């Protein structure tokens, strides 16, 4: 074998290893459940108003990020439904409350879950029934400024 053949073989092996590593990384980041066993599960919550929440917004319990908002949509009743992925290690009791909160006065919005004390937990795919919607600052200011007139 001459030196050109060795270089071509080395480059070929490097390319194959690089593509294999890229494929593995793509599958891990995409959370392919049959490969990784899935590290998250999905819960839903219905809100009257989710102003400021976006896909990717944090879900927090006790100030600790435990998940992220995966999807926002409207249901048939005209309510906003937020789907969020939570770490599998986090269990949410049935009497928990999900609320839309803000980091500071004008900070980013996030969903806070206030855990209850129930012994039964939500299962993947279930909907949290106790929710508190986003506070609409504009309507509060207009009510105050205009004396309650909308």
17-30: pLDDT as tens digits: 999 998 878 777 76
pLDDT at 77: 87
Percent of the chain with pLDDT over 70: 86
Residue 112 is predicted with a pLDDT of: 93
Query: At residue 12, does pLDDT exceed 80?
Result: yes
Distance, in Å, from the CA atom of 10 to the CA atom of 42, rounded to the nearest integer, reads 44
- Structure confidence by residue, pLDDT tens digits, 36-55: 456 889 999 999 888 888 99
> Are 92 and 128 contacting, i.e. CB atoms less than 8 angstroms apart?
yes
Lowest-pLDDT range, 15-19, 30-34, 122-126?
Answer: 30-34
The answer to whether 44 and 81 are in contact (CB under 8 A) is yes
Element (H, E) at 8: helix 3-29
Is the pLDDT assigned to residue 142 strictly greater than 80? Answer: no
Q: Determine the pLDDT at residue 144.
A: 74
Mean residue pLDDT of the chain comes to 84
Residue among 55, 40, 46, 124 at smallest CA distance from 85: 40
- Give the mean model confidence (pLDDT) for residues 7-19: 91
Name the residue with tokens 């106790």. 130
- Whole-number pLDDT of residue 65: 92
Q: What is the pLDDT of residue 49?
A: 86
How sure is the predictor about 97, in pLDDT bands with cuts at 50, 70 and 90? Answer: very high
Closest CA to 79 of 150, 133, 41: 133
**In terms of pLDDT, which residue wins out, 28 or 56?**
56
Q: What is the pLDDT of residues 70-81, one digit of tens each?
A: 999 999 888 899
């Amino acid at each position: 074998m001459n030196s050109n053949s060795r270089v071509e073989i080395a480059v070929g092996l490097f390319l194959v290893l690089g593509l294999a590593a890229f494929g593995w990384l793509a599958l891990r980041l995409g959370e392919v459940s049959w490969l990784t066993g899935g590290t998250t599960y999905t819960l839903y919550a219905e809100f009257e108003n989710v102003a400021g929440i976006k896909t990717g917004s944090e879900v927090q319990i006790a100030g600790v990020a435990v998940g992220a908002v995966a999807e926002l949509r409207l249901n048939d009743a005209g309510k906003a439904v937020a789907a969020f992925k939570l770490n599998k290690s986090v269990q949410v009791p049935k009497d928990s409350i999900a609320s839309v909160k803000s980091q500071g006065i004008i900070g980013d919005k996030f969903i806070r879950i206030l855990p209850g004390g129930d012994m039964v937990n939500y299962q993947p795919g279930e909907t949290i029934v106790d929710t508190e919607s986003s506070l609409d600052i504009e309507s509060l200011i207009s009510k105050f400024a205009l004396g309650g007139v909308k």
